[in-house]
Amino acid sequence: MTTRDRLENVIAEACQARGIPGMVVGLLTEQGRQVVEYGVASVETGCPVRRDTLFQNGSITKVYLATLAMRLVEEGKLALDTPVIAYLPDLELADPAAREAITLRHLLTHTSGLEGDRFDDYGYGDDALARYVAGLREARQIHPPGHFWSYCNSGFSLAGRVIEVVTGQAFEDAMRERLLKPLGLERTFFFVQDVLGYPYASGHRTNEQGHPEVVRDFALPRSVHPAGGIWATIDDLLTFAAFHLGLHQVSEPPLSAEGVTRLQEPQVAAANWADAYGLGWALWTVGSARPIGHGGSTNGFQAHLTLLPAQRAAVASLTNHEQGSAAALEVETWLLGEWFGMRPEAPRLMTIPEAELARLAGTYEYRLARIRVEPAAGGLWLRAVQTRGLSRQPRERALPPLFLQPIGPTVFTSGPARVVPNRVDFVFENGGIRPRWIRAFGRLAERVSD
């Protein structure tokens, strides 16, 4: 059996175990590309996933935005450490001090402190982002700018509006003209009407009978485009990765090699699935390797992109199910181990006294979920209920429970070792006996009860 045959088997087993209808995986090296397709684009049509099938890439879009923003920095149109109000003088936020302090660097590194998951829909007109930003006056300021890392979609929509103002273009037009077109990304889109002319996947979720069903409201609000709006084929995503690895040469590159390097440099210590964040990129370690990457989660789609700068290689995975990330990371973990000898080591566990575990217990909330933490022998149980999301038909949904094992006094891990770490941590403030927040799924969730 060839290595490719084994990869096909790993993909099929990972998807079948979780009810994932379709997946496409791409491997990029200096020698070229390998792409493997699996399953169907829709359980209703039975159309197979093809190499040119379009998938929602979700928050991988954030790296595209950061790349465009760095181009504008190089052109002198933006500065990373200039307060955003220099570009948006009419900006109103709930916290006047934060309004004066938030910079583009804060937005690109998830450290602005803005309430992070506001997916308000302001229609498809060219004023959608302007109206969204005007609505941020109602957003909570979770913490002062620069104090903590907490994943923030809202900050990227705000950054998208800054790009509109300094370029004089709609965000999607600026992205097309200044980044996508120079890189030759002809199968990368934002609007559903553009997607409909090509093969595309439907998003799926698991219904009450345990079977995958098509998600109908897969179109994202235009106000979310800067944070997660891209649709792309696996080859366009690999081409974008190739540019960031120096493997895709174009006559007029949209960003200098120095600018690409700046995006990949650590800016802030992160948590959960990353050790640090660059500008747009998540940064972590697998043994002695230093991958960079980003995931994407939308309504019925999961995507992941991992770059290995030292090896000049990348792995991309696109799936059409809300649970697709588990399958994608399983496949990536196997693939990086098989091709590059990178096998993540299980973190060393420690013992925490029962009294210490008990003080971490409680109910925590953030805009998308309610989290209950309960002490258990050797760790904690985390039970989360998703209370809202991108869907216009919200439904409460219990997520699979996680057993958290301590790897530090306030840091826990869950599940098997994967190519991307899976951690949860607790954040204290002002010498408190109990944590103010749990940081899970990238977000700071505030303690609301014992």
Q: Report the alpha-carbon distance of residue 206 to residue 17 in Å, rounded.
A: 13
- How many helices and strands, by DSSP H and E, does the chain display? 13, 22
Q: Which residues of 52-89 are buried (b: 16+ CB within 10 A; e: fewer)?
A: ebbbbbbbbbbbbbbbbbbbbbeeeebebeebbbebbe
CB 254, CB 241: distance < 8 Å: no
Nearest to 244 by CA among 22, 60, 50, 23: 60
Catalytic positions are 59
Q: Report the alpha-carbon distance of residue 53 to residue 67 in Å, rounded.
A: 24
**């995975």: which residue's tokens?**
317
Q: Which two tokens stand for residue 91?
A: 């900006």
Q: Report the alpha-carbon distance of residue 36 to residue 339 in Å, rounded.
A: 15
Q: How far apart are the first and last CA of the chain?
A: 55
- H-assigned helices in 191-256: 192-195, 225-228, 234-244
CB 56, CB 233: distance < 8 Å: no
- H-assigned helices in 181-233: 192-195, 225-228
Own/partner pairs, 285-291, CB within 8 angstroms, 24+ separation: 286/336, 286/342, 286/343, 286/344, 286/419, 287/342, 287/343, 287/344, 287/345, 289/340, 289/342, 291/419
